Structure formats: C-alpha cells, structure tokens
Amino acid sequence: MNSDVIRLLPDSVANQIAAGEVIQRPASVIKELVENAVDAGATDISIIIKDGGRTLIQVVDDGCGMSPSDARMAFERHATSKIASADDLYSLHTMGFRGEALPSIAAVAQIDLRTMRRGDTVGTRLLISESKFEGQEPATCVPGTNLMVKNLFFHMPARRKFLKKDSVELGHIVHEFERLALVNTGVAFTLINNDATVHKFPAGTLKQRIGSLFGKYLESHIAPLSTETSLVKISGFVGMPRIAKKRGAQQFFFVNGRNMRHPFFHKAVVKCYEQLIAPDAQPSYFINFEVDPSTIDVNIHPQKNEIKFEHEQAIWQILEAAVRETLGKTQATGALDFDRDDAPDIPLFDPDSSAAMPSEGFDEGGFSPFDRQDESEAPKRSTTTWQTRPSAYNDSGTPERWLRPATPPQDWQKLYEDFDRRRADAMTEAASAPDDMQEDGSVISGEDRPVDDGPRSFQLHSSYIVMASHSGIMVIHQRRAHIRILYDRYMAALAEGGPVASQKLLFPEDIELPASQLVALQANTDRLAALGFEVSCSGRYCSITALPAILGEAAGGETLQALLEEIDERGSDSAETLNAPLARAMAESGAIKAVQPLSQPEIDTLTADLFRCAEPSYTPDGARIIAVIGNDDIAALFARGS
C-alpha cells in the first residue's frame, strides 16, 4: 500500500489557484493589462468592455509591442522582462514584476492577442484558452498590443455565478479606471462600454485629470500640495474643507507611480482637518509620494496595493506638516494669501517714523444727518417721557445719549475722557438693574416666578439636548436624532408600496455627476422614476426636474448624489433595496445641522418624536444618538475625598 499522499498539482490547476488571488473580477483584468501597457511605454490606451467585462475586455495600446517568441513566453508562469534577480525587487520602476498576470488571465478566460514591435513589417496573433495554447500565426496589425480577454470564467461556473450584475461590475471597472488614469496622467485614456464612450481624455496634468474624472467643481476646490525632503517628495492636491463629504470622498495615494492604500497616512491627512470639517465627514485628496525604491516593499500583497515604508513615521510627520501648510496658505484656516498679484502693499517698518494724528474732515456747508434741526422745523416728538420707557430712546430707536454732536470734536483727549465716563455710567446702570429683569425691561414678581426647577430639557452648545432621566442625565445628539426621526418617517411612506408621489420643480436643478454615479443612474433610471425622481442627462450633466414629494425642502441634487453613491458602493438588486438608501439620503439631507440653536418648543418636539421611534438610540448607520451619565457616575464625582 502506497502511503504517499503529497503530489504535485498540474499546471492548469496551479494557474487557476494563482488566478484566484490575482484575478477576482473584470476590474482586476483591466488593472493588470493597463499596467502592462504602461510598462511597455504606451502613450495612448483604449479599454473596450462588453456586458460588464463578462463577454469582452479589450485593451489596445501603442507601446513597444512584442516579438512572436516574447508573445508566447509572456503567458508562461513567472516569465517577466521586469526583473532578473532578487536584488531587482529593491529597485523597481515598473508596475509588474512577478510574471503572474497574463498566465492567471489565460487560466480563466479565452485570449486573443495581436502585437507588433515598432520597425517590424508584420506582427503575430496568439490564441489561448484555459491555459492551453491553441495557435500562433503572423498577422497584420499596428505597432503596439491589442489583447482581447473573452468569456471571463467561462469554464468556472462557480466563479462566474459570484460576479455581480453588469452595472455593478461596470462600477468597479470605472473605479479601477479612475485610479489608473490618475496615476498615469501622461497617458491618453479611452473607456468604452457596450459601444458607448464613458471616458475619453488626452494626456495632461493631474489637476486636469481630476477635473475630467470628477467634474470642474472638484477641480476648482482643491489646493496644490508640494514638499521635498531627503526622504520623500510629496506632491498632489488636497480638497478644501467645505467640500468634505460623509461618503464618496475621492481619496487617492500614489507612490512612485503606483496606486496604494495606506491607513496610517490616511490618518495623518484626516488629522489636519479635525477642526475644519464635521467629525463624520471625509476630505478629498490626491497625494503622490516619490521615494527611493529601496526604501519600500511592494511585494506584500497579490494586488500590489499595500506597500511597506521603511521611514513610515518620518514620512507621517512630513505629510502632516505639508497638508497643514497647504490648508493655511489657501485660507482654509483663515490665513492670508500674500503671493497673489492683487495682494495689498505692506510698507516696510521704519522705527524712526512717527504716526500722524488722525484728522476728521467734514464739509461745513454740506448736509449732515446729525445736524440739529430748528425746533420749528423738527417733527413733533412724542409726549411720552423717558420715565415711561424701559430706557431712554429717541423715536428712531437710537439711545439719546448715543446721538453724535453736530460738530465733530477736535480735542481727542477730551473725547476719550468722555468715553471712559460713559463706559463707567453704563457699567453702573448694568450693576443696578434688578436680577429678575426680562428682555423687555419688566421685572418678574414673586407670584409669577415658576415653582418648578425649570424646563425638562435644554440645549448645550447648540448641538446637544440635555435632559434628566430616571437613571441619570441623558445627552442627545440633535442632528442624529433628527436623522432617525426623518428616516423612520420616510421608510414608512416608502413601505406603502406603489409609485411615490413626485413633485415637479419650478426651476430644474442642474448637477454634474462623476462617471461612477452616472453609471449607477443609467442602470436604475426606472427605479428612480418609481421613487419620484425625474432626471434627464446630457453627457455627465444632469437636470433634475422632479423630486419625491416626501423630500420636502431638502436639496434634491445632494439627495440624488447621496443615493447614487449608496447604489455605486453597495449595489441594488430590487426596488425595495433602494428604499433604505433613499430614506437615509433624504434624512441626512433634510436633517437639522449639527450646530443649530433650537427653541424650547423645538427641543420638546424633537425629543418627543425621537422616543416614538422604534430604535431611538442609534441612527440607521449605527451611530449613537443617546448617551447617559448614570446616577452612580454623578455620585462618584462628589464622593468624599474625590
């Protein structure tokens, strides 16, 4: 009996296992093929997809191309032209280096490759299916590479079943395309989906590329970031605090021309915005790091988007200082911009010069509203004496003692002596006023004073509602409470079923949508119409002509964009799944501000409505609404010896 149980897997099985790490969905294929095209020196890349990438993914570039033997060898595992030894891993200047992308793609799809080098008169065509070589022949083609990936996961029903519907996969492709286009601004890109052009823009600067991808509004609200040290060179753009968003913020890190995720550096950027944006908002940023390749390790994740830095702590400090400096220079924190052409001319300080005494000139023959009128010409004053008024005011509502004299004073010392005397008189009047004086000047009598301890609740810092409870002191976050109230109200209205009543807008609201949200809008037009939205689009510019009637006065464009961000991020398979995102988006758009003064009746109404909700303690997103300081905690504060 043979007891050996370990065996060597066939190449086809090993390739499929490797493909599971590298190729997860159509967007992964596009990432690998575009990075190969960039490494080949391409200046113009076209991406053509059909059916969300299931049927066809085609990448056409004008790079260096391949010879017939190189084209055949490229689909062998660990075959690469990027490195020759292990030492090359610490001096990488290319996107690819493992030699796994093309064989992984060939293991899960059908490949049709046409390529030709510059200077050659004829190219080559290569056919591969399920890692099996099916043929190679000379072909007429233009210099560069044209690679078609057909029927992704065609022989793997389980993997194909887990692909989302076409609109969701297209959304992932668009997001991957955005990352590739941002990091390769010197390359012209075209993205075509089902014969419709989604993106097309020439080579340009990073700022131009940001505007092309996300709209002119974002492009006009970002500030340049630039600093250079011996460890790192940091450049890019950060968004102004006023455009920070709760979700869907554009946040991109690049290092040496490669996309990356880095939570540690993300915290450094967010820390700079702590006092400038709401706690639940996120800033947009597009930041590129240039470092010595020997100080980073990109070979720690199959997708190569997680990177280890040798000088991580030092770069954190440099990044934080650079972002703070940029926000200060661009007046995000109230600083002045002294580099503008129209900046005020600030004279040099001369310690020997003396300041001239200010003079007050006036036209003696001209009209002055402060001239005293002749008694015969002056309008007749009210017979009410000052004793019957709360304070001595003239008929225009101006205090009599504040009326300016007819002739401006010329003795400045005397003027300031008079000012000090009037200020002392005002302080004396304030000190002698009754403690129980109301705003209108009347005094509360002993019989009218409330006998209880005051209102049941009050507002703290225009943000929180404080009230007593049986277990202690209850603190309510007013905006989150209002979000919960509106969310429950909207969900109840949407749950009734049938088309939602729509309200026509007198003036349509125009918005510009990024490509990812435009894809979500086009895929859900009928569902959005059933929910009360009427939207017409021309390119990326859309006009909202009707909104759900239950939306009230909330901003339609903001609500629609929030809903599209939800759809883009989470997807939707039925009309019912849109109810919760729509209700959440409308609630967040229509809720009161985090800092907003409320009257006592408004406080009472808000708290009463909150405690009628089925779940008053948390928002739909799970954020805490109510915090309670227990009686025991209060007693502990005043315990003897504390």
| 137 and 274, same domain (yes or no) | no
| 296 and 249, same domain (yes or no) | yes
DSSP 97-113: -SS-HHHHHHHHSEEEE
- Tell me the two tokens of residue 86: 């292990």
Look at residues 329, 363, 387 and tell me which one is the last residue of a structural domain: 329
Q: H/E element holding 208?
A: helix 206-214
Look-up of token digits 């490797």: 18
Whether 392 is in a domain gets the answer no
Say what the pLDDT of residue 42 is.
93
Query: CA 145, CA 49: separation in Å to the nearest integer?
Result: 16
Whether 618 is in a domain gets the answer no
- pLDDT, one tens digit per residue, over 19-70 is 555 688 899 899 989 988 998 899 999 999 999 899 999 999 999 999 999 8
Backbone angles phi, psi at 58, to 5 degrees: -125, 130
Query: CA 131, CA 15: separation in Å to the nearest integer?
Result: 8
485: which residues sit within 8 A by CB, 6+ positions away? 606, 609, 610, 613
Say what the pLDDT of residue 391 is.
40
Q: For the chain, what is the mean pLDDT?
A: 77
Look at residues 186, 201, 216 and tell me which one is the last residue of a structural domain: 201
Q: What is the DSSP letter of 363?
A: -
Amino acid in the structure at residue 420: D
Using CA of residue 177, residue 178, residue 182, residue 187, what is the dihedral sign? positive
| 166 and 244, same domain (yes or no) | no
Straight-line distance from the first to the last Cα atom of the chain, in angstroms, rounded to the nearest whole number: 79
* pLDDT over 80 (residue 435): no
| 140 and 253, same domain (yes or no) | no
Query: CA 124, CA 66: separation in Å to the nearest integer?
Result: 9
- pLDDT, one tens digit per residue, over 206-254 is 999 999 898 888 899 999 999 999 999 999 999 999 888 877 789 999 9
Environment class of 191 (CB within 10 Å of its CB; exposed 0-12, middle 13-18, buried 19+): buried
By the 8 A CB rule, do 481 and 471 touch? no
Backbone angles phi, psi at 41, to 5 degrees: 85, 25
Q: Which domain holds residue 288?
A: 206-329
Say what the pLDDT of residue 181 is.
93
Q: Mean per-residue pLDDT for 307-316?
A: 90
| 552 and 485, same domain (yes or no) | yes
Look at residues 291, 307, 329 and tell me which one is the last residue of a structural domain: 329
| 141 and 213, same domain (yes or no) | no
Whether 249 is in a domain gets the answer yes
Convert 312-345 into a string of H (helix), E (strand) and C (coil).
HHHHHHHHHHHHHHHHHHCCCCCCCCCCCCCCCC
Say what the pLDDT of residue 395 is.
45
Q: H/E element holding 290?
A: strand 285-290
Look-up of token digits 């001096």: 91
Length of the chain: 642
Per cent of the chain over pLDDT 90 is 29
Q: Which of 461, 487, 402 is nearest to 597 (CA)?
A: 461
DSSP 580-634: HHHHHHHHHHHSPPSS----HHHHHHHHHHHTTSS-TTB-TT--B-EEEEEHHHH
Instruction: Quote the number of domains for the chain.
Output: 3
Q: What is the DSSP letter of 220?
A: T
Strand partners, 136: 126
| 194 and 243, same domain (yes or no) | no
Query: CA 98, CA 89: separation in Å to the nearest integer?
Result: 10
Instruction: For residue 27, give the CATH number of its domain.
Output: 3.30.565.10
Whether 237 is in a domain gets the answer yes
Backbone angles phi, psi at 225, to 5 degrees: -125, 130
Task: Choose the weakest-confidence range: 8-22, 107-121, 166-180, 582-596.
Answer: 8-22
| 15 and 157, same domain (yes or no) | yes
Choice between 614 and 360, residue whose per-residue pLDDT is larger: 614
- Say what the pTM is: 0.66
Instruction: For residue 236, give the CATH number of its domain.
Output: 3.30.230.10
Amino acid in the structure at residue 361: G
Instruction: For residue 510, give the CATH number of its domain.
Output: 3.30.1370.100
| 104 and 68, same domain (yes or no) | yes
Look-up of token digits 């989150």: 480
| 137 and 273, same domain (yes or no) | no
| 243 and 133, same domain (yes or no) | no
Say what the pLDDT of residue 267 is.
93
Backbone angles phi, psi at 254, to 5 degrees: -130, 145
